[in-house]
Structure 1
Amino acid sequence: MRWFLDLIDRATERRVRQVAHSHGRRSLVTRLGVALVGGAVLPMLPFDRSGQFGAAHAAGAAKAKSNPVADDPTKCEYWRYCAFDGYLCSCCGGSLTQCPPGTEASKVSWVGTCLNPTDNRQYLISYNDCCGKASCGECLCNNNERERPGYRLGVHNDINWCMANTSLMFHCTTSVIVGVA
């Protein structure tokens, strides 16, 4: 058994020496720096949750046409809330698109693709958490249409998106139309 470990040690040493002869320390430092900076910037990028919206929205459209509260922005079934998770800012002193006084919109957000049943078009909706006060506690909605497990950050809405703000305290969430899908 000892001879096998010696063989592995010699082979490893030989390979490390070959790499050391062909690559300098500066290239290693450069690659490490790029990896660290890239890893730090990645969480600040906006996320697109528009993938795979066709089949889910076709079923949602049929449900929305038979559901009168789909046109009421104070209800969780409102069409813009298809990927919503949080407290409605309209119940917490804000509006559908504005944070309440004393809070600020999160610098990062998640994006959902929702079907508007009145014009039968898909819209990109940006869900921005409002940060700076304790949780509102009113009008909790949790719609997880096409949500994926937490290891895919951009398609997971159970994250405190106030992570890039000065205050990490979550208060409520807005839903802003950012474009047509």
Structure 2
Amino acid sequence: MSLFKANWGLKLFAWRYIPLIGFCSPKIVRMSSSTLEVTMPHSWRTKNHLGSVYFGALAIGADLAGAFLVFSKAKARGINANFAFKDVQGQFLKRPEATVHFTSNDGDIIDQMLDESLASGERVNKPVTVVVTCPSLHGAEPMATFTLTLSVKAKTKR
């Protein structure tokens, strides 16, 4: 899936099902079979009273980076995949005071989850990791890390 199509899919999904995602204006900037990177601007919509990106906006970005690959991989395979997060753990390391990047390199884990769920017919739960950076101010140094337990149930389309 091209970045253009992925971003249109993200916008349509956000405005139709979860408008709060669209309100934060995320954008997919890198997507491969193993990696997804999403950016979110540092704006009046996403920052808190201290001038850093609000933890709720950080959670939205982590959600997208951890789950959008499920959506795109299921679509590419022609299967239905219902997914949600069972829990989340966040570690806030530094205040992100500019545009933030959310990166997940867990595409292989998502492939395994889809395969396992298709084979068993059951829901599969595994942790995925998202690293938040603020490249314009701190390069690749993590501002926060999230571990989210992704829960996926896949089935073939009828």
Whether these two folds match at TM > 0.5 is no
Q: Return the TM-score normalized by structure 1.
A: 0.27
Which structure features the higher share of strand residues?
2
Q: Return the TM-score normalized by structure 2.
A: 0.29
